[in-house]
């Protein structure tokens, strides 16, 4: 019986520990973001040559109050339209140069007037400053403080095919495209690409409706160097993140995750203090009201000889509670057997 009891106890311990190990391996490393589908997350990876890759999405809320605010300032934002933009910049000499394309079409899936975009264009022409208004629109959607946008060119022969979701009828909406060569004087990027979409239903709309100005962003920086945005002092490497954060869309909350791929360094802190810190990663959560200036990542030299990392500690920490439970269970079984005199 004692041999059977030992086998039972061994089986219990093995099962619990195996289950615990599986759970621990499924736990993401400390600091790894697991975003919701509609969460704004920007990932910055600092490479060994001190350049950085940037990818991510940002969701900027747009309410009827925002539409009203900009239309009162002659920015041609109208309900019932779909705004979609493509921006591609590459380094030419000391600046970034590229093209900004914006397509304004009726949001027919929401039942908007198929000629609404053209009516907007005609109204701008009657005001006498259509190109200035479109410049303002392009800056509001993306580029305020980052892009220089000269007078754009406009095409009004854009046709958009839709199918009415209720009747199945084929519909053709008329729209316009706005295009301008754009430039940014930032010396820190090799390339920068943005795709964004904003669409809204036609009025009347619910007062609590909130639209989503959705950005997809991809960029690569030049290698950072001293004295800015990198500085070294007494074994601490400080990387200023302003060249990256100031180039992101304004007015939107997002999570900024910065990972470093420098073999000689590990993350020690940041300014302001990140909400999460891992050995090679720091995470900030920024509101849409905060200015993104002043963010910095601090790295320290890795001390040789350490065998236990934070990631390993997280796994062992996950194993401890099941192991304790298994020990308690085994001890209870042994006492119960002894109490019975077996």
The 3 state secondary structure assigned to the chain is CHHHHHHHHHHHHHHHHHHHHHHHHHCCCCCCCCCCCCCCEEEEEECCCCCEEEEEEEEEEECHHHHHHHHCCCCCCCCCEEEEEEEEEEEECCEEEEEEEEEEEECHHHCCCCCHHHHHHHHHHHHCCHHHHHHHHHHHHCCCCCCECCCCEEEEEEEEEEECCCCCCEEEEEEEEEEEEEEECCCCEEEEEEEEEEECCCCCCCCCCCEEEEEEEEEEECCCCCCCCEEEECCEEEEECHHHHCCCCCCCCEEEEEEECCCCEEEEEEECCCCEEECCEEEEEECCCCCCCCCEEEEEECCCCCCCCHHHHHHHHHHHHHHHHHHHHHHHHHHHHHHHCC
> Average pLDDT for residues 299-313, to the nearest whole number?
58
> Quick one: pLDDT at residue 288?
74
> Quick one: pLDDT at residue 325?
53
Please say if the pLDDT value at position 33 is more than 50.
Answer: no
Give the range among 31-35, 37-41, 194-198 with minimum mean pLDDT: 31-35
Of residues 143 and 316, more confidence is placed in: 143
Please say if the pLDDT value at position 95 is more than 90.
Answer: yes
pLDDT digits (tens, 9 = 90+) for 206-250: 888 999 999 999 999 999 999 999 999 888 999 999 999 999 998
Of residues 139 and 311, more confidence is placed in: 139
Residues in CB range of 226: below 8 A, 6 or more apart: 232
Please say if the pLDDT value at position 157 is more than 60.
Answer: yes
> Quick one: pLDDT at residue 29?
35
> Quick one: pLDDT at residue 312?
40
> Average pLDDT for residues 53-57, to the nearest whole number?
97
What's the pTM? 0.76
Residues in CB range of 73: below 8 A, 6 or more apart: 136
> Average pLDDT for residues 127-133, to the nearest whole number?
90
pLDDT band of 332, cuts 50, 70, 90: low
CA 18 to each of CA 6, 23, 130, 214: distance values in angstroms, whole numbers, following the listed order: 18, 9, 68, 43
pLDDT band of 341, cuts 50, 70, 90: low
> Average pLDDT for residues 271-299, to the nearest whole number?
89
Give the range among 48-52, 131-135, 333-337 with minimum mean pLDDT: 333-337
């Amino acid at each position: 019986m004692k041999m059977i009891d030992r086998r039972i106890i061994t089986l219990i311990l093995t099962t619990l520990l195996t289950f615990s190990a599986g759970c621990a391996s499924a736990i993401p490393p400390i600091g790894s973001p697991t975003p919701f589908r509609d969460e704004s997350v920007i990932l910055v990876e600092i490479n060994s040559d001190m350049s950085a890759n940037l990818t991510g999405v940002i969701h900027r809320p747009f309410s009827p109050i925002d539409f009203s605010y900009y239309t009162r300032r002659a920015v041609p934002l109208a309900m019932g339209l779909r705004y979609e933009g493509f921006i591609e910049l590459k380094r030419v000499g000391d600046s970034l140069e590229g093209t900004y394309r914006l397509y304004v079409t009726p949001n027919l899936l929401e039942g908007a007037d198929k000629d609404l975009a053209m009516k907007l264009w005609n109204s701008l022409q009657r005001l006498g400053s259509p190109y200035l208004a479109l410049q303002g629109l392009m800056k509001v959607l993306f580029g305020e403080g980052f892009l220089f946008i000269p007078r754009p060119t406009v095409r009004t022969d854009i046709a958009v095919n839709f199918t009415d979701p209720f009747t199945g009828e084929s519909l053709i909406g008329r729209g316009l495209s706005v295009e301008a060569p754009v430039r940014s004087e930032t010396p820190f990027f090799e390339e920068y690409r943005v795709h964004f979409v904003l669409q809204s239903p036609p009025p009347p709309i619910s007062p609590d409706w909130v639209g989503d100005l959705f950005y997809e962003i991809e960029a690569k920086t030049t290698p950072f160097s001293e004295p800015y945005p990198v500085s070294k002092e007494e074994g601490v490497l400080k990387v200023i993140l302003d060249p990256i954060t100031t180039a992101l869309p304004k007015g939107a909350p997002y999570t900024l995750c910065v990972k470093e791929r420098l073999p000689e360094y590990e993350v020690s802190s940041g300014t302001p203090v990140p909400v999460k810190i891992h050995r090679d990663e720091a995470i900030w959560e920024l509101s849409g009201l905060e200015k993104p200036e002043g963010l910095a990542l601090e790295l320290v030299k890795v001390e040789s000889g350490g065998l236990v990392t934070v990631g390993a500690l997280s796994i062992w920490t996950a194993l401890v509670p099941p192991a304790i439970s298994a020990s308690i269970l085994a001890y209870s079984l042994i006492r119960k057997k002894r109490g019975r005199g077996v």
